[in-house]
Chain A
Amino acid sequence: MDVLLNEEEQMLKNLAREFLEKECPPEMARAMEADDLGYPPALWKKLADLGWLGLALPEAYGGQGLPLAYLGLIFEELGRAIAPVPFHSTMMAALTIAKDGSEQQKKEVLPAVARGDMVLTWALLETDPRLLPETVHAQATPQGNGYVISGTKMFVDNFNAAQKFLVACRTAPVSGDKSPVTPLYERGGLSSPPLQRGVGGISAQGSEAGLSLFLVDTNLPGISHTPLGTMVKDKQSRVTFDRVAVPASSLVGRLHQGWPVIEGMLDRGTILLCAQMLGATRKDAEMGIDYAKNRVAFGRPIGAFQSIQHLCADMIVWVDGVQLLTYEALWRMDQGLPASIEISQAKAFANDKCEAVVRSSQVIHGGIGFMAEFNLNLWFRRVSSWTMRMGTSFEHRARIARALLDQPGRVRLGESMYDLAPSG
């Protein structure tokens, strides 16, 4: 038990910070908001040269095979620097291919990602924005030696920059009775088999969801996209599939068994986003605290007023909380332990507290923080938008409530929540 970073972890973090402070000033994030591609290819190439893009990918495919926690530390620093790179969407897809892809898919994608020659993304959400299997209506129909995909996907990150993406499609109707499908987040984390026993007979295969995941080229005929106008001016798209033919080899994992694969992807994506939010929020808090030390009002720095000091104290306490929850989830994932509850803990807390912290920092800055040309808003808008993605607080708390309340056995802090002991 040692929740602090060890020497190697701290060194990696320091190196990442030094590099990004030099190579990725906030002006870069600002410039990319007006850029069509949305990221600087030269910086992307440098990240590849540093080994970051292959950091957590298998050594056999050009990666370094390092723990996910190390990648989390990189995300923390990328968040701190609000680096405008398509790192998150690329890693979500690449890590999923590394875990669940075919040999051919791994060979085709992973070395190219590690070299910085391929940007990836993923497409799951449709009209209903919840991260649930029943919200997926896009259809993949068998045809000839492959499938034909039709449907519309929302909030596809970096679609304009990506060469390939993972697309979740319905290949079979939702099985089971006619009653409405219980949100799977509420069922308590399908990615963690022990819990499934605890919450009452959820199929370990997830085949009842009837979903399949495909690795698709973004430039195939029949795919079109419309950019969405976000508060961050980042690149998200609505993507439409009009009878898009894909080969059978594009299937990732097994047919109709896509949901556990997708859940793994979402879990990794969620915790890496937490790490990114953590880094950005801590930096934002530091800017607020520095401003309070220097801004003079009523004849003294406003940071000498207790009302401001206590606001700042809470900001740091909350950011520390996000950090501890995030690190614990990452550590568990690297140990091969179930972590869906810890991931949800981190994201729900981060959603609420990171938003509160960046809002407090805006309050401390007063009117100047509201000005477009003042840099603080670059962090504020990003953190705020990240709280809205990869699961809302309500979704994540519903998953925790399910684990807490809907399986027999008594809860105890510090003990596993995935397989509660019988009552008594």
Chain B
Amino acid sequence: MDFGFTPRQEALKQEVRQFIAENVSPEVLAEAAKGWEEGRGPRTRELLKKIADRGWVGISWPKEYGGQGGSRIDQYLVEEEFARVGIGVGGAGSGAPAILAAGTEEQKQYFLPRIIRGEIVFGLGFTEPQAGADLASLQCRAVRDGDEYVVNGQKMFTSSAHFATHLYLMARTDPEAPKHKGISIFLIPMDTPGITVRPLWTIQSNPTAPLGTTYGQARTNEVFLEDVHVPASCILGEENMGWYVGAMGLNLDRVGASRYLLSVSRDEDIINWVKENDFQGFTPAQDPAVRDRLAELWIEAQVCRLMTLRSMSLVEHGGKFTYEGSAEKVFSPEHGVRTTETITQVLGPYAQLMNGSPEAIEDGIFAHNVLGAFQSGINHGSVQVMRDQVARRGLGMPRS
């Protein structure tokens, strides 16, 4: 066991902090905060390119695809520093890990360097109106036709669709096969004719979340695919093996710096707030009940941190998760919700005030978090599905 970082890694952290201090201006952050509504703006793109030029994206990816052939722990450290200021780096998302694991040489050469440079962004085309937690029952069809596939169907909650360059799509290629064994994954340019994107506005869209909100997604999308013709070379991995290719990417997407910070940032925020503030002499930080509860949450946050580091350690060993990624995806999001809800009881009626309101605390981020926190226990595999996986894969419990 080794719970420390090497001097080189500590120096890397400092280097990234220095870079952030010099390059991540309030203007960039304000623009990045609008990313969910408007996509990446010019300042964000320039920043992401600078970060990529430093060699800080895809550190653990092989050199021949633009990575550094470095350690997953290094990559985690860099991602954490940027995630803390609200900038997602590292080719986060399911696409790149799946391409690394299952892509053809040509796909790796094409996609990975462009993902690193920020030129390719995936929209995740998994969920459908009738296929959420039970994703394998999806109905979107891809039919082989000579050198092409023709895709028809509807996708839901494709959050990046309006600024993505490609759709990372799961579709059924064999309707006769058992549901997990008739699915394939396709990497489809968004500008392919037949693709329509329509916005879906969330309960965090009016007003939209201010800078620094952990859970602040104003917009997601539905995506319609009507007779979309794509070359057969768009398929990722073997035909009908898409379920397993997708699961690989999802497992890696469930862990890491951004997921961890999503769950624990509120702990730091409320503790630092109560340390520096009071209500005309009432000081929550001196209330024994508040103190006990905040300490309890802090301990849970440490568990979130350690579970993330466990996942990183497993990846570093080249091992696969049996249940550890799912365990982290149970504990951390639920912790984030517990913290968010505790904050409402520490701040009382002030916690309901949104940004723009008179007397709003921290520009309403705590109110926004109440609206969005539970979302992290739903997306990318709900905590209930994750518990199924811990029990069945991790503990070998029977299905029936």
Binding site for B on A (CB under 8 A): 1-6, 9, 69, 289, 292-293, 300-301, 303-304, 306, 308-310, 312-314, 316-317, 320-321, 324-325, 327-328, 330-332, 335, 345, 348-349, 393-394, 397-398, 400-401, 404-406, 408, 410-414, 423
Q: Complex: how many Å from CA A330 to CA B298?
A: 19
Smallest Cβ-Cβ distance to B73: which chain A residue: A1
Which of B21-29, B156-164, B215-223, B387-395 lies at the interface? Answer: B387-395
Could you tell me the distance in whole angstroms from the C-beta of A12 to the nearest C-beta in chain B?
A: 12
Least Cβ–Cβ distance between A330 and chain B, in angstroms:
8
- Can you list 26 contacts pairing A with B, beta carbon distance less than 8 Å? A2-B2, A3-B3, A4-B310, A304-B398, A306-B388, A309-B387, A310-B384, A312-B390, A312-B397, A313-B330, A313-B388, A313-B391, A316-B394, A317-B330, A320-B324, A321-B306, A324-B309, A328-B302, A348-B296, A394-B292, A397-B291, A397-B292, A404-B271, A410-B268, A410-B275, A412-B268
Which single residue of chain A is at the shortest CB-CB distance from B80?
A: A414
* In the bound complex, CA of A301 to CA of B397 (Å): 9
Contact flag A405-B310 (CB < 8 Å), given A304-B397, A309-B387: no
Contact B394 A313 (CB under 8 A): yes
What CA separation (Å) do A39 and B317 show in the bound complex?
42
Known contacts A397-B299, A404-B295, A411-B268; 5 further A-B pairs (Cβ under 8 A): A6-B1, A6-B2, A312-B391, A401-B292, A404-B298
Q: Are B3 and A1 in contact (CB under 8 A)?
A: yes
B314 at the interface (CB under 8 A from A): yes
Chain B, residue nearest A301 (CB): B398
B279 CB → nearest A CB, Å: 16
Selected from B264, B275, B309, B388, the residue in CB contact (under 8 A) with A1 is B309
How many B residues are at the interface, by size bracket?
A: 35 or more
| B296 CB → nearest A CB, Å | 6
Residues of chain A with a CB closer than 8 A to B400's CB: 300, 304
Q: Per-residue CB proximity of B356-400 to A under 8 Å, as 1/0?
A: 000000000000000000000000000010111011101111111
A9 to B, closest residue via Cβ:
B1
Contacts of A310 in B (CB 8 A): 384, 387-388, 391
Q: Closest A residue to B286 by CB, please name it.
A: A405
Residue on B with the closest CB to A409?
A: B275
Q: How far is the CA of A119 from the CA of B6 in the complex (A)?
A: 41
B387–A331 CB distance below 8 A: no
Asked if B187 lies at the interface with its beta carbon under 8 angstroms from chain A, I say: no
Query: Which single member of B9, B291, B309, B395 contacts A316 (CB below 8 Å)?
Result: B395
Partner among A4, A327, A401, A411 whose Cβ is within 8 Å of the Cβ of B317: A4
Within the complex, the shortest CB–CB distance from B273 to chain A, in Å, comes to 10
State whether the Cβ of B294 lies closer than 8 Å to any Cβ in chain A: yes
Whose C-beta in chain B lies nearest to the C-beta of A406?
Answer: B285
Q: Which of B276-314 contact A (CB under 8 A)?
A: 276, 285, 291-292, 294-296, 298-303, 305-307, 309-310, 312-314
Q: Are B296 and A397 in contact (CB under 8 A)?
A: yes
Given A6-B1, A69-B1, A321-B307, CB of A411 within 8 Å of CB of B312? no
Contact A316 B390 (CB under 8 A): yes
CB distance from B319 to the nearest CB of A (A): 9
How many angstroms from the CA of A136 to the CA of B309 in the assembled complex?
A: 41
**CB-CB nearest in chain A for B303:** A321
CB-based closest 5 A-B pairs: A309-B391, A324-B306, A397-B295, A313-B390, A401-B291
**Which one of B73, B80, B390 has the greatest number of beta carbons of chain A within 10 Å?**
B390
* Interface contact A398-B3, CB-CB below 8 Å: no
Contact B4 A345 (CB under 8 A): no
Which residues does chain B contribute within 8 Å of A398, judged by CB atoms? 291-292, 295
- Chain A residues with CB under 8 Å of B291's CB are 397-398, 401, 405
**B354 interface residue (CB < 8 Å to A):** no
Q: Given contacts A3-B3, A304-B400, A316-B394, is CB(A405)–CB(B294) below 8 Å?
A: yes
Measured CB to CB, the nearest residue on chain A to B391 is A309
B267 within 8 A of A: yes
A residues in contact with B276, CB < 8 Å: 423
Please tell me if B100 contacts chain A, counting CB pairs below 8 Å: no
Write the nearest CB–CB distance from A13 to chain B, whole angstroms.
11
Considering only residues 118-167 of chain B, those with a C-beta below 8 Å from chain A are none
Residues of B within 8 A of A324 (CB): 303, 306-307, 309-310
A347, closest chain B residue (CB): B299
Interface check B323, CB cutoff 8 A = yes
Asked if residues B285 and A414 are in contact (CB atoms below 8 Å), the reply is: no
- Is there contact, CB below 8 Å, between A410 and B391? no
Report Cα–Cα, A331/B313, bound state, in Å.
16
**A182 → chain B closest CB, angstroms:** 13
- Please give, as numbers and ranges, the residues of chain B lying within 8 Å of A301 by CB-CB distance: 398
In the bound complex, how far is the Cα of B2 from the Cα of A327, in angstroms?
9
Please name the residue on chain A nearest to B301 by beta carbon.
Answer: A413
Q: Contact check, A314 vs B387: say whether CB atoms are below 8 A apart.
A: yes
Q: Is the CB of B302 within 8 A of A325?
A: yes
Are A2 and B268 interface neighbours, CB within 8 A? no
Is there an interface contact between B299 and A345, defined as CB atoms closer than 8 Å? Answer: yes
Complex CA gap A101/B20 in Å reads: 50
- A331 — which chain B residues lie within 8 A by C-beta? 1-4
Contact indicator B396/A3 (Cβ below 8 Å): no
A1's nearest neighbour on chain B, judged by CB, is: B73
- Does B14 sit at the interface, judged by CB under 8 A? no
B327 within 8 A of A: yes
B397 A293 Cβ-Cβ under 8 A: yes
Flag if A411 contacts B272 (CB, 8 Å): yes
CB distance from A264 to the nearest CB of B (A): 20
Task: Knowing A1-B312, A293-B396, A327-B3, say if A411 contacts B271 (CB, 8 Å).
Answer: yes
Q: Is the CB of A325 within 8 A of B306?
A: yes
Docked complex Cα distance between A274 and B299 (Å): 15
Cβ-based interface call for B5 (8 A): yes
Nearest Cβ in chain B — how far from A357, in angstroms? 13
Q: Is the CB of B267 within 8 A of A413?
A: yes
In the assembled complex, which residues on chain B have CB atoms less than 8 Å from the CB atom of A325? Answer: 299, 302-303, 306
B316, CB-defined interface residue at 8 Å: yes
Chain B residues lying within 8 Å of A5, measured Cβ to Cβ, are 1
Q: Determine if B398 and A293 form an interchain contact, defined as CB atoms under 8 angstroms apart.
A: yes
CB proximity of B209 to chain A, nearest CB, Å: 22
CA distance A345 to B396 in the complex (A): 30
Chain A residues near B3: list those with CB within 8 A: 1, 3, 327-328, 331-332
